[in-house]
Amino acid sequence: MGEEEREMTKRIDITPAPEPLEAYVKHFDELFGKSNQREGFRQYLEGLLLPSERHKTLTGLVNTEPVVGAQLPRAQKLQWFLSESDWDERAVQHQRLHLLVEDPSTAPNSQGVLVIDETGDRKAGHKTAHVGRQYLANVGKIDNGVVSVTSLWADERVYYPVDCEPYTPAHHFEQGKQDPAFRTKLKLAVELVRRAVQAHIPFRAAVADSFYGEDYGVKQGLRALGVGYVLALKPSHSWWHPIRAIGSLQEAARAARWKSSERPGKWIKLTRTFRDGSKEDWWALEVVTGPYGPDKQERVVIATTDPLTLPDLSTFYLATNLPAPRSQRAQDSDLATASLEEVVRLYGLRMWVEQSYKHVKHELGWSQYQVRSDKAIRRHWQLVCCAFSFCWYHASHPSENTMQEARLPSESEAPLQSGVPAEAAGTGEKNQRGKSHAATAVLASDAASSARLVGTLDHATALLERLVASTPASCVATPAPVA
């Protein structure tokens, strides 16, 4: 290649993001063939990571007025980046996971779990991809909205999103539920586990709530993939049984002959130790009746703080295909054995989702997109996952000079206004690097607000503290002697 050709293919310089965000986003530069795509990627992540009282819509990300300001060049640039530009969302997904896997502080291991969960958010209208009137778990009722099924890797140290897939209601398909392209949320869950297996992400078991645990197809799909699972069952779970035989979980719990902590019957005492050092006594029961037992294809474990009353908020009913120690299945199965303590520990990791994950996703703007196409929605979710993953990257790659590295807006740049400036129309010329607003300017409307750039990293740190410190899912269950 000659000197002239090398000069022609040299990439256009762009305004870097603040460190260590720049150190993170530059790993993705090869995935974006145009300079405005690389700029858009940086600006989008900075906007998602900033604390804000506004929704993180496109106009919110660029700090402009929602209606008239949506026509500003800087808002239109992000709109184009999200909806029209030609970058590959799955390539970004692959690179994001590669960074997590290669970092020793976030690398997945065979003691963690793959959590399957769904998120439902309200969305008005009928033109948005995947929208429909359906049950929204975040709202707790049937409403108009979009539902996504997500996978999450977690252990006692870290957790982060692995993948996500939107659920498309049947009315979007020509043949409804009979259409070959239609997939239920249950099938999407198995598909996400399959992707994790194909990506060689290690995990001890797939973990999910009773929506998935009560479905035979999910269990069959997971067994076909050769993975272990710990899935919740409903308290009302029952099975066919002869008259006067035990036929439900409630009956099995009562038959365990609990009298008191001194006379526990068949219940085994466990001590769960949490991240803050606090401890809590739980009791676990191996159900050996009906279709369940250590030597059957599936085991059921009941774990609770009170075997007498089985309180709803602190009782787990768990189905697992992990073999019990010293059982016949342990000799025949390729899966490692799991004691009662281990089964409870694995499901306890799911509490990351309930206690913090959904809240942090909301902080990062998971549902606050204002786009309609399937491609743009998937891209927005992937960018939120990148922002989420950056929180862990920031913890393992701290910048000692964050304040010094934060750049003040250039004196030649006019401060951003909430209205439409006179130059909003622009000249239509490409690559106006001297006239375009830098990524830092997007975050500051005057010189005094330059510290808000550092706020991106401060907010990432605050989010990370919420991920780690406020979540009780880091518990480790250990057996304790029965008095």
Query: Alpha-carbon distance 219 to 300, whole Å?
Result: 13
**Residues 64-76 pLDDT 10s:** 656 655 566 666 7
Instruction: Return the closest-CA partner of residue 133 out of 368, 124, 375.
Output: 124
How far is Cα 248 from Cα 83, in angstroms, rounded to an integer? 51
407 or 338, which is more confident: 338
Residue 165 contacts residue 382 (beta carbons within 8 Å): no
pLDDT of residue 407: 39
Give the model's pLDDT for residue 179. Answer: 93
- Among 150, 195, 99, 112, CA closest to 392: 99
End-to-end CA distance of the chain: 80
Lookup result for tokens 């001890």:
204
Structure tokens at 141: 């009722």
pTM reported for the whole predicted model: 0.82
* DSSP, res 277: S
Inform me whether the pLDDT recorded for 209 exceeds 90: yes
Q: Which amino acid is at 280?
A: E
Asked if 54 contacts 70 with a C-beta cutoff of 8 angstroms, the reply is no
Written as one letter, the residue type at 2 is G
Write the single-letter amino acid at 192. Answer: L
- Give per-residue pLDDT as tens, 155-202: 988 889 999 999 999 999 999 999 999 999 999 999 999 999 999 999
Looking at per-residue pLDDT, the higher value among 426 and 275 belongs to: 275
Q: What is the mean pLDDT of the chain?
A: 81
Of 37, 21, 53, 40, give the one whose Cα is nearest residue 368. Answer: 53
Which of 156-170, 281-295, 336-350, 425-439 shows the lowest per-residue confidence on average (mean pLDDT)?
Answer: 425-439
DSSP H/E element including 114: strand 113-122
Residue type for 425, please? A
**Hey, where are the domains in the chain?**
3-94+372-411+434-469, 228-349
What type of residue is 426?
G
pLDDT of residue 5: 47
Alpha-carbon Rg of the chain, whole angstroms?
Answer: 26
CA–CA separation, 217 and 233 (whole Å):
14
Reading phi first (left if > 0) and then psi (alpha if -120 to 50, else beta), residue 275 is in alpha
Average of per-residue pLDDT across 17-29: 90
pLDDT in tens, 299-358: 999 999 999 999 999 999 999 999 999 999 999 899 999 999 999 999 999 987 776 677
Cα–Cα distance, 124 to 122 (Å, whole number): 7
* Alpha-helix residue ranges (DSSP H) falling in 160-239: 185-198, 210-213, 216-225
Taking residues 284-313, report their average pLDDT.
Answer: 95
Cα–Cα dist 467/203, whole Å: 20
